[in-house]
């Protein structure tokens, strides 16, 4: 994910570990996820053969994306939940450290 930070990653990981991320619809190249929070959020993820991934979230942080310039924790949680559903392990600590190095 582009321009996210370690705090958003940790929050996303907590959401998945607490089972707040529910996969609603899954295909080979896309999914819809509901994050069950005090207010539910809908996340959509998709990948094409060519190009960048497409993703969106119904949270207020995402609506401020252009000024915020980073991915929200809900999208990270949805990505982790989708990967786990396909038996793809979470990133290891070396990978996380590499991406969040300042």
DSSP 36: -
Residue 88 C-alpha from the chain's centroid:
14
- Domain segments of the chain: what residues? 6-100
Coil vs helix vs strand at 94: helix
Q: Tens of pLDDT along 23-71?
A: 999 988 899 999 998 999 999 999 877 777 888 899 887 766 555 556 8
pLDDT band, residue 93 (cuts 50/70/90): confident
Cβ neighbourhood burial of 44 (10 Å; 0-12, 13-18, 19+): middle
- Angle at the Cα of 94 from the Cα atoms of 93 and 95, rounded to 5 degrees: 90
Average pLDDT across the chain, whole number: 85
Model pTM score:
0.83
């Amino acid at each position: 994910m582009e321009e996210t930070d370690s705090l958003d990653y940790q929050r996303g990981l907590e959401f998945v570990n607490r089972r707040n991320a529910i996969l609603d619809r899954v295909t080979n190249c896309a999914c819809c996820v509901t994050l069950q929070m005090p207010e539910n959020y809908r996340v959509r993820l998709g990948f094409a053969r060519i190009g960048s991934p497409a993703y969106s979230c119904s949270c207020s942080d995402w609506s401020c994306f252009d000024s915020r310039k980073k991915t929200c924790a809900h999208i990270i949680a949805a990505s982790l939940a989708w990967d786990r559903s396909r038996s793809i392990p979470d990133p290891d600590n070396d990978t996380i450290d590499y991406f969040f190095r300042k």
